Amino acid sequence: MTKEALKSYPVGGPLVARIANSETIQVPTFPNMQEIGNTLEPEKAYEVGNTIGGYLKQLGFNLDFAPVADVAVNPENQVIGPRSFGNDPNLVSQMVAREVEGMQGQDVSAVLKHFPGHGDTVEDSHEQAAVSNKTIEELRGTEFLPFKAGIKADADMVMAGHISIPTITGDYTPASLSEQIITGCLRNELGYDGIVITDSMSMGAIVNYYDPAGAAVMVIQAGGDMILMPQDFLAARQAVLDAVNNHTITEERLDESLHRIYRKKLGRMKK
């Protein structure tokens, strides 16, 4: 929970593009990422990232909640749909990597979302729990690939989605709160040591099942670094402080997150 989130916007295409859809700010616009993917030209994704990163930097923003690294494998999925580059994990991987490189070439941090992949769900995590019944082997062969490509491209951040994967966790704990997924899959298996931020903690997949205080503590315990938009900020903040004071969360664990955040901030400031 830092002021970093206040200097960021999701600008990943016209479906979720706060600035490009603004009536008061004139910036270049692009079609949905599905249309960019349909060109089969990864350089188009680089152009998207570089252009968006350029105008965001001029406007004073230092990160963008993009690109969408989800693979649109489920035609019934409505929450991701045309926000994804497509249903081919290899193509999506190429597009994601190039968008990251284009955006971060402008010194605007890119955020891969929504780990471990929201493209196979039917449910909308804005409203309720979203579940994928894929096995870890299936995830490795599809959903993980664009995230691996984005990580290789040195993406500053990954957004953990509120997707439940019971084949991994044994229950319906969302990925954003799961140590097995954030630490086990993302950090240990994919080798990611950058910043992990949650999707909005005010979404139905969280608030319908967890209180803001308990959920905030679970994020840090799971290996997350930043808690985005908790439903009750003061309660979430106090819960994390209390958890550190009573040793539910160790100071060492908290320091890991601080080091990741400051390493990225200072790295961008020096460029």
pLDDT tens-digit profile of 34-89? 999 999 999 999 999 999 999 999 999 999 999 999 999 999 998 999 999 999 99
Exposure class string for 210-232: b at 16+ Cβ within 10 A, else e? bebbebbbbbbbbbbbbbbebbb
Share of the chain above pLDDT 90, in %: 87
> Residues 64, 120, 156, 199: which is the catalytic one?
199
Model confidence at 131: pLDDT above 90: yes
Q: Is 199 a catalytic residue?
A: yes
Domain span at residue 179?
3-269
> Residues 107, 126, 211, 232: which is the catalytic one?
126
Look at the chain and report how many structural domains it folds into.
1
**Predicted structure pTM score:** 0.92
Model confidence at 11: pLDDT above 60: no
Distance (Å, whole) CA 2 – CA 194: 16
CATH of the domain at 13: 3.20.20.300
Model confidence at 199: pLDDT above 70: yes
Q: Is 126 a catalytic residue?
A: yes
Query: What is the structure's pLDDT at 267?
Result: 86
Q: What are the tens digits of pLDDT across the range 138-185? A: 999 999 999 999 999 999 999 999 999 999 999 999 999 999 999 999
Give kind and range of the element (H or E) at residue 196. strand 195-198
Segments of 12-171 assigned E as strands: 63-64, 109-115, 130-131, 157-160, 163-164
